[in-house]
Amino acid sequence: MNYLNFNAEKTSKTVAELNHLLADYHLYYQKLRNFHWNILGENFFDLHNQFELMYDDARIKIDEIAERILTLRYQPVSNYSDYLSKSNLKESKSNLTDHEMVSHLLEDHGDILKQMTKVVKAADDAGDEGTIDLVGAYIRELEKTSWMLDAWRMKTSDSLKVSQ
């Protein structure tokens, strides 16, 4: 690992947090597939398509996170039993309403964002700008997706805050 000029002890902390994030993304990906397959009702077309876009994005992030761990010269966790034990997320039922599905995803986004913050902190402590850059972009993208899902579930009579 000399070519990256990282402290092995500090890098191991970053990798541990990345492996938790990898586990989170695997459960999130499967939840999105579940919701994509099982969405019903008048919002079927919108959410069926949106969930597909989201799981395609999650699949890419899963690969990028694993490859970042490999770049840091560690082996990523790769078994579902490990994902289930490490993840901050929980599985969801399949027979939820559209609003319940979106609410579950927004809760997951909050948990994923907390984990991303842990990754960034560990990477910052290790002087690992590559991981900070990767996860920083994920934070921005997930915040935007969260805003859009939250706006979807709002009523048209709801209003936004007005700045002074």
Structural domain spans, the chain: 18-151
Tell me the DSSP string of 85-115. Answer: HH-S-----S---HHHHHHHHHHHHHHHHHH
pTM of the model: 0.94
Say if residues 22 and 58 touch (Cβ distance below 8 Å): no
Q: Which has the higher per-residue pLDDT, 156 or 11? A: 11
Tens-digit pLDDT profile for residues 17-64: 999 999 999 999 999 999 999 999 999 999 999 999 999 999 999 999
Per-residue pLDDT, 17: 98
Asked whether the predicted pLDDT for residue 7 surpasses 90, the reply is no
Q: Write out the two tokens for 149.
A: 């899902």
Confidence band for 1, pLDDT divided at 50, 70 and 90: low
CATH of domain 18-151: 1.20.1260.10
Per-residue pLDDT, 2: 67
**Rounded CA gap, 84 and 81, in Å?**
5
Q: Which of these, 94, 121, 96, lies nearest to 21 by C-alpha position?
A: 121
Q: Please state the rounded mean pLDDT for residues 121-143.
A: 97
Q: Which of these, 97, 107, 92, 88, lies nearest to 150 by C-alpha position?
A: 107
Asked whether the predicted pLDDT for residue 77 surpasses 60, the reply is yes
